[in-house]
Amino acid sequence: MLKTTIIILSFFITAGIYSNAGMPLKIKTVVINSYGMHCTGCEETIETEIKKLDGVKSVKADHVNKKVTVKYESTKTNPNSIKEAIKSAGYRLEE
């Protein structure tokens, strides 16, 4: 019974790292400097805009350090799309 449980668990863990097409997921992290954030409301605005992108797994904007950290599937989005989302939310990428 224990051996069967381990095999089944191993299958689900392995299956969880593959996309629907059977290709390995390529999760990447990018940290982007963003300027113009002054409060947690600004953070939420940027996070909401970036979460609209397909393939975004997590996003954390930090107005104190002026950084936006995004984990994403590289087969579905890219840093340029993330930067465009920040700009469309009304924030700058350069000081």
Average pLDDT over residues 77-91: 97
Express each pLDDT in 7-35 by its tens digit: 443 444 444 445 555 566 799 999 999 99
C-alpha closest to that of 65 among 26, 35, 27 = 35
Q: Residue 38: phi, psi to the nearest 5?
A: -125, -10
For residue 7, how many C-alpha atoms fall within 13 Å in the half-sphere facing its CB? Answer: 4
Q: Residue 53: phi, psi to the nearest 5?
A: -75, 135
pLDDT at residue 12 in the model = 41
CA pseudo-torsion sign 27, 33, 90, 45: positive
pLDDT band at 2 (very low <50, low <70, confident <90, very high): very low
Q: Quick check: helix, strand or coil at residue 94?
A: coil
Express each pLDDT in 44-74 by its tens digit: 999 999 999 999 999 999 999 999 999 999 9
Domains of the chain (ranges; CATH) run 23-88 (3.30.70.100)
pLDDT at residue 23 in the model = 61
